[in-house]
Amino acid sequence: MTFRKGDLNCTLDEKAALRHGADERNEDPVAVGVAGRQPEEVYERTLSWWRQGIRRAILRNVERESPVLARMQAKIRHPFLDAYFVYTSSLGTHTFFMVMLPIFYFFGAPKFGRGLLLMLAVGVYVSSFLKDLCCAPRPFAPPVARLTIGNHHLEYGFPSTHSTNSVSLALFFYTLLQHVYHPDGPISQFGYNCIIGILCFYVFSIVFGRLYTGMHSFTDCVGGVVLGASIWGLHILIGESVDAWSREQGWIVPALIVPMCLVLVHRHPQPVDDCPCFEDAIAFNSVIMGEFVIRWWMDNYGYDASFFTHAMPGASWATYQDFATWWGTAALKMVFGVLAIFVWRIVAKSFCLSVLPPIFRLLSHLVTLPHRRFYTPATDYTTVPPEKGLRPIPSVIDLPRMMEVEMDDVAASGARANGTYGAVKQRAIARGGKSESEKQHLGRAPDATDNRKSRRELKHYDADVLTKVFVYCGIGMVATGVVPILFEVLGWGVRMS
């Protein structure tokens, strides 16, 4: 099959030849290729027959849809739309939700925050599970020009996590709107229609943006939309029952939740490529575990809703002084809450990376420890390298400052000639040689050699897995339980009025 974009011709056979060339140069095929784009025999040799079947079906759709997406991009690409769809895509990421969700617990809406957290966590875990299960690539670049922030382009394509999160979030807010809207209520018909329009526009921006930026195929987005709607439906069916169960049962809650979350981590599918989906799944899965445990403890040991009696200072907003007091307290709560999460992360990660490797090495002499592909066992290292150590800001909210564009040499040259991307970093995909589009006015974009080098240097350690579980479980406990209790004790309150 041949892809065409302007005077660009690139066949699948030529792509396979380039990948085989990497093998002939004794280069790491995982380092050279992107997720899902190694030679097909690699996937046939690694995956079970039924996983191969699912991958082949999705791959056929990606092959058909990639040139369609490329033609669409050629017709509607514009600098403003490039910036809009790339930067608004951050509103559909689990990064955004992990940063925003604690606010609901800090300001007296734990039931709302918990429902949203549970639904989004299921979405991230299931979509990550399916990505590593299917090992299906994103739309081919070229012919598609791929625009992205962060490392999402290193993940598999099916299904779209952005689409999953945006649809489930919009439907969740729609359900809340239905509960509060009635003819004599505070929301008018006009306001109701405006909110519905905003929710629809939000979903459109996120889902269509994944197509516009070349990050997902139509199949990926449809899968994400169906998954998001299904998770919302599941929440409607059993959400209240789950809340009641965790509130009313005894020790069975932590005794069941903790092993179940650990099993979900252990049984996450092994991908063929080094895909970061697993780490995303660990983070949200562990936050849910921490939230369940701390919520159970609070409900059973005197820290339930009746404990939180203080309203925030200045909550009446009766005077300008009350107004200033309320906002000052709100700012102080946010700084304190975020700082508490950062401190926990630094202490917990330092502790785990110091203690876990020697424990793993000791246990390896007694039992056969589970081993995940691409993760170095503790018996093969003595210390964790500095780059795997502490950073002042959690990796979950590390966002690059620049948009990255993947394209072929010809498209990159045309973009420069037309001034299409302005201050956008371009990463060219070279065809049969070094890219001509290495230097931009903001600096040199990494070429294929740089990409191979950076991927070779990326290394995981078995201690990373349990460290993430422990750290993010603690983040869930600190953000949803410990910090709100401290606010109440300090007199800052969590109630809005």
Q: What is the pLDDT of residues 240-291, one digit of tens each?
A: 888 888 888 888 999 999 999 999 988 899 898 888 888 888 888 999 999 9
> Does 124 fall in a domain?
yes
**Structure confidence at residue 239 (pLDDT):** 86
Query: Would the pLDDT of 2 be above 50?
Result: no
* Residue 470 resides in a domain: no
Asked, for residue 494, whether it belongs to a domain, the answer is no
| Tokens describing residue 259 | 């092993």
Instruction: Output the pLDDT for position 10.
Output: 35
Predicted pLDDT of residue 76: 92
Residue 153 covered by a domain: yes
Q: Where in the sequence is the domain holding 236, given as residue range(s)?
A: 2-310
Residue 446 corresponds to which amino acid? P
Task: Give the angle subtended at the CA of 216 by the CAs of 215 and 221, to the nearest 5°.
Answer: 140
What pLDDT does 57 receive? 94
What percent helix, strand, coil does the chain show, rounded to 5?
Answer: 65, 5, 30
Q: Model confidence at 152, in pLDDT bands (50, 70, 90)?
A: low
Q: What is the DSSP string of 68-134?
A: HHHHHHHHH--HHHHHHHHHHGGGGSHHHHHHHHHHHHHTT-HHHHHHHHHHHHHHHHHHHHHHHHH
Asked if the model's pLDDT at residue 1 lies above 50, the reply is no
**How far is residue 68's CA from residue 82's CA, in Å, rounded to a whole number?**
18
pLDDT digit string, tens, across residues 230-243? 999 999 998 888 88
The answer to whether residue 209 sits within a structural domain is yes
Does residue 39 have a cis peptide bond before it, meaning omega lies within 30 degrees of 0?
Answer: no
Per-residue confidence (pLDDT) for residue 207, from 0 to 100: 93
| Domain-located, residue 482 | no
pTM of the model: 0.78
> How many domains, the chain?
1
Task: Give the model confidence (pLDDT) of 333-352 as tens digits.
Answer: 999 998 998 899 999 998 98
The residue ranking higher by pLDDT, 416 or 336, is 336
Let me know if residue 398 belongs to a domain: no
Domain-embedded: residue 197: yes
* pLDDT at residue 362, as a whole number: 84
159 DSSP assignment: S
Average pLDDT over residues 349-357: 88
Upstream peptide bond of 392 is cis (omega within 30 degrees of 0): no
